[in-house]
Amino acid sequence: MNNEKLTLANIATYLAQQKGITKKTAIGFLQQLIETLSEELLRDGEARVKGLGVFKIEWHKSRMSVNVQTGEKYEIAGHNKITFTPDKSMREAVNKPFEHLEPIAINKETVSANDTWMDDEELRLKRFSEQAQEILGIIADLQQTQPEGKNQTLQPSETPNVSPIEKAERVQPDVPIVNQEIEQASAPVTTNIADSTSAIVQKESVEKESIHASSDEKTMMERMAKQVPTNNKRWVALSILFAVVVVISIPIYYYFFIMNHGNDATQPTTILASTSSTHIKTLASPVTQAAQSQSTTAKAVTPNPLTQPRTYNELLATETFKEGSRLTLMALKYYGNKLFWVYIYEANKDKIANPDLISAGTHIKIPKLNPKLIDVHNPQCLIQATALQTLYTKHHATQAK
Amino acid sequence: MTHKELIADLSSSLSISENEIAELLDTTFTMMADEMSKGKSVHMQGFGTFEPHRKEERLTINPRTKVQTLIPPKQVVVFKPNQTLKDKAKEAPRYE
C-alpha cells in the first residue's frame, strides 16, 4: 500500500474539472462542508452524512491502567472520543479490490493446545529417528564397500580401515562419562542436562562427517576386487550401531526423566533450604529426608555455585508485600535483574503458595545470595534462573488446572 | 441534521443551488472512495484524515459447530480526527 495523500487541493482540482466550476469555488465548498460538519458534530455529538458515514462523539469511561515499566497503577481519566463509521456505499467502494472474495469454510478437526505441544515433542523425536535412519543407510553402504579392506596391501587401503576403528574407540570412552552424568542428574542440576545433550548432538554431527568422508573414499575403491568378507567389517558395523543406539537413547531417556522427576529434582533443595535456614521453623519429619538427600548431593555436586544446593541463611532485608509490588521488582532492586525473583520465591516458599498470587501484607525475606549465583553478566546464571522460572510457572499452571 | 438540511445549509452559505450542492457532495465522496480503494489516504485540513486500512485474511472457528472459516482480506476506512478537533471534542460536554 502506498502512502500517498490526497489533500483538499487535489479534490478541488478534480471537482473543478468534473463540474466546470472554478477551483476557488470548489475549495470554498469543501471548507464550508468541513466547517458545517465539525460544528454539527461538536454541537449534537453526532453528524450523519449520506455517502460518507456517521461521525459520533463517544464517552470513554475512566479506567485503571498499569505502567508496564514500573508496575505502578494509574488512572486514565474519562474522555470523549470521535468515532467514524463509514456508510455502506463508502465501505463497499473502498473494499472494491477484495470484493470478489468470500469466506471459505474449511472442515478440519481442531487441535487442542495440549496436543500441539506433544506434536512438537514428537517432531523432535522423529527428527532423531530420521537421523538414525540416515546413519544406518551409511552403515549399509559401508558394508557393501568394505571388501577391498584386506586385499589392498598398501597405503590407500589403510586409511579407510583405520578411521572407523578410531572413531569407534573415540565413541566408546564417551559412553561411561555419559552414564556418570545420568547418575549425577539425580542431584538438582538442570543446566547439566542442556549441556550434555548439546554435546551429544555435536558428537553425532562429527561422527556423520567422518563417515561421509570415509565412505567417499571407499566408493573410489569399490571397483577393486570384491573378496574375502572379513569379520572385521561386521565388528566395526556393530560398534557403530551400538554407539548410535546409545546416542539416540540418551535424549529419550532424559526426556522421560524430566517428565517424571522434574518436580522431584527440585524438592531436595527446597527442603534443605527450609531446614537449614535459622529463621524458618524446622519440621521434624523432613530432617531425615534432608540428611539423605544431602549425602547423595554431596557426592555428585561440584564446587560450582550454580549447582550447589541453595541455602537462605543470611537476610539482606525484609519487605512487606503491598498492592502493586512484585517479586520481580524486588529482585531488580536487590540483585539487579528481574530473573532472580525465583530465589526470593524459594526463600519464601513456606509463605507463598502461588508466586502469581501473593496476598498483601506478606513479609517477604530477601535472602543474601552468593554473588556468583546472581552474576548479571554470566549467561549461565541467567539461563539457570530462566529454567527455574519456567519450572515454577509450569508447576503452578498445572496446579491451577 | 438530515442530508437535506445539510444541503440547504451549504446552499445558503455558498449561494449555490441545492441541486449543484447535492451533485458536488456526491462526486466528492465517490472520488474519495475511489482513491481510497487504490490505497491513497485523503487528508482534510482542519478536520482529519481518512485512511484505507488493509485487514489481512484470518481463520475463524465457530465455537459451536467447530467449522473453520477463512475470512478473506478486506480494506476498510479509518478516520483519524486531527488534534484540534480531538481537543475540542474533549472539551465538549459528556456524551454517553
Give CA–CA dist B87/A45, Å, rounded. Answer: 14
Give CA–CA dist A328/A339, Å, rounded. Answer: 7
**Are B77 and B96 part of one and the same domain?**
yes
**Are B55 and B93 part of one and the same domain?**
yes
Q: Give the pLDDT of residue B82.
A: 92
Contact A273, A311 (CB under 8 A): yes
Give me the DSSP letters along A144-160.
HHTTHHHH--SHHHHHH
Q: Higher-confidence residue: B71 or A130? A: B71
Q: Give the pLDDT of residue A166.
A: 45
Q: Which of A14, A29, A59 to mutate to test the interface with B (most CBs of B within 10 A)?
A: A29
What is the chain B residue with the closest CA to A33? B10
Cβ count near A354 (within 10 Å) = 11
What residues make up the domain containing B4?
1-38
Q: Which of A33, A48, A79, A108 to mutate to test the interface with B (most CBs of B within 10 A)?
A: A33
**Are B52 and B27 part of one and the same domain?**
no
**Are B3 and B27 part of one and the same domain?**
yes
**Are B34 and B11 part of one and the same domain?**
yes
Q: Give the pLDDT of residue A305.
A: 64
Using the Cβ of A49 and the Cβ atoms of chain B, whether some distance falls under 8 Å is answered with yes
Q: Give the pLDDT of residue A348.
A: 82
pLDDT above 70 for A175 = no
Average pLDDT over residues A289-314: 57
With H, G, I as helix, E, B as strand and everything else as coil, classify residue A2. Answer: coil
Q: Are strands A315-320 and A363-367 parallel, antiparallel or unpaired?
A: antiparallel
Chain A residues lying within 8 Å of B25, measured CB to CB: 33, 49, 51
Using the Cβ of B8 and the Cβ atoms of chain A, whether some distance falls under 8 Å is answered with no
Q: Give the pLDDT of residue A319.
A: 80
Is B1 within 8 Å of A32 when comparing Cβ atoms? no
Chain A residues lying within 8 Å of B1, measured CB to CB: 40, 44, 47-48
Q: Give the pLDDT of residue A238.
A: 82
pLDDT above 80 for A1 = no
**Are B69 and B81 part of one and the same domain?**
yes
Average pLDDT over residues A201-221: 49
In A93-112, the residues whose Cβ lies within 8 Å of chain B are 93-98, 101-110
Q: Give the pLDDT of residue A258.
A: 66
In B40-59, the residues whose Cβ lies within 8 Å of chain A are 40-49, 52, 54, 59
**Are B24 and B53 part of one and the same domain?**
no
Chain B residues lying within 8 Å of A18, measured CB to CB: 27
Q: Which of A1, A3, A35 to mutate to test the interface with B (most CBs of B within 10 A)?
A: A1
Q: Give the pLDDT of residue A191.
A: 41
A358-372 tens-digit pLDDT: 788 888 888 887 777
What amino acid is encoded at A31 in this protein?
Q
pLDDT above 60 for A222 = no
**Are B57 and B96 part of one and the same domain?**
yes
Give CA–CA dist B76/A31, Å, rounded. Answer: 25
Is B86 within 8 Å of A102 when comparing Cβ atoms? no
**Are B27 and B58 part of one and the same domain?**
no
A145-163 tens-digit pLDDT: 765 444 444 444 444 444 4
Give the bridge partners for A363, in sequence order: A320
Average pLDDT over residues B59-64: 89
**Sheet containing strand B48-55, strands side by side:** A5-6, B41-44, B48-55, B74-81
pLDDT above 70 for A74 = yes
**CATH number assigned to the domain comprising residue B65:** 4.10.520.10
Contact A113, A187 (CB under 8 A): no
Q: Give the pLDDT of residue A267.
A: 43
In A311-370, the residues whose Cβ lies within 8 Å of chain B are none
Q: How confident is the prediction for chain A on average, in pLDDT?
A: 69
Q: Of A103-107, A149-153, A338-342, B25-29, which gets the smallest average pLDDT?
A: A149-153
With H, G, I as helix, E, B as strand and everything else as coil, classify residue A61. Answer: coil
A4-45 tens-digit pLDDT: 888 999 999 999 998 888 888 899 999 999 999 988 888 888
What is the count of structural domains for chain B? 2
Average pLDDT over residues B41-48: 91
Using the Cβ of B18 and the Cβ atoms of chain A, whether some distance falls under 8 Å is answered with no
Q: Measuring CA to CA, which residue among A266, A256, A262, A271 is closest to residue A188? A: A266
Average pLDDT over residues B33-42: 90
Q: Higher-confidence residue: A41 or A219? A: A41
**Are B22 and B52 part of one and the same domain?**
no
pLDDT above 80 for A290 = no
pLDDT above 80 for A281 = no
Q: If residue A46 lies in a helix (H) or strand (E), which one and from where to where?
A: strand A46-49
Chain A residues lying within 8 Å of B75, measured CB to CB: 94-95, 97-98
pLDDT above 70 for B13 = yes
What is the chain A residue with the closest CA to B25? A51
Q: To the nearest whole percent, how much of chain A has pLDDT over 90? A: 6
Q: How confident is the prediction for chain B on average, in pLDDT?
A: 88
Rg, chain B, Cα only: 19
**Are B31 and B67 part of one and the same domain?**
no
Average pLDDT over residues A37-57: 89
**Are B45 and B33 part of one and the same domain?**
no
Give me the DSSP letters along chain B.
--HHHHHHHHHHHHT--HHHHHHHHHHHHHHHHHHHHTT-EEEETTTEEEEEEEEPPEEEE-TTT--EEEEPPEEEEEEEE-HHHHHHHHHSPP--
Average pLDDT over residues A211-240: 59
Chain B residues lying within 8 Å of A78, measured CB to CB: 94
